[in-house]
A and B are shown apart, each in its own frame.
Chain A
């Protein structure tokens, strides 16, 4: 089954404790991205990757890191989480650049930073 998976689905952590949210897709998509969703603000892009080893900042990249060492994986790293990073996070992938193609979203990761 074609899908985007994220782990963990729920995470409660404390300020400053490094964490990684994994994202994996099995559709051989080139383009992957991370979004955060907050009430009233919609989906805001954090980072995106157009292919292996090619990443770029989205609209709200501060406090996040990403890497794309393999085509299927695109982990999101919070090196020193803060309470304002409490949010619902979605990973997405699409076949090409994402400008004209359907984006497939993962199930989401609800992160709480205390």
Chain B
């Protein structure tokens, strides 16, 4: 079952902040975040394992609340290069099931 991402799309100006949410109906072992630019392959951003840790990647960070089965991706002081589609992927706990991606959030950063 696919995780649910919100919002589906967001438009912001350079320098503004954005939050993308990812939620699952299942208990999670890990949450993965990827970014895909138009016409390109998805590129890894970060992985969060259960334990509620927060990780960072330049001005992009993420949190994982395993009790709520939710993860959020934070983009701070967004740059034009942040534009693209962001996907979260989830791996359920206690299962051999593999990574399942959400439907994506399209982020557009305007000058």
Contacts and interface: CB of A to CB of B under 8 A. Distances in A.
Interface of A: 33, 35, 40-45, 48, 58-59, 90, 97-108
A107 B43 CA distance: 11
Given A90-B42, A99-B30, A100-B30, A42 B87 contact: yes
Interface string B83-103: 000010101000000111111
Contact of B101 (A40, A43, A98, A101): A43
Contacts, number: 55
B99 A45 contact: yes
Interface string B31-62: 01010000011111001010000000000000
A42 B98 contact: no
17 contacts: A33-B98, A43-B89, A43-B101, A44-B2, A45-B98, A45-B100, A59-B100, A97-B98, A99-B91, A99-B98, A100-B30, A100-B47, A101-B47, A103-B32, A103-B42, A105-B43, A106-B41
Interface of B: 2, 29-30, 32, 34, 40-44, 47, 49, 87, 89, 91, 98-104
A43 B89 CA distance: 9
Nearest to B1: A59
A102 B35 CA distance: 13
A42 B41 contact: no
A52 to B, nearest CB: 17
Contact of B103 (A41, A90, A97): A41
Interface of A is mostly: loop
A54 B98 CA distance: 14
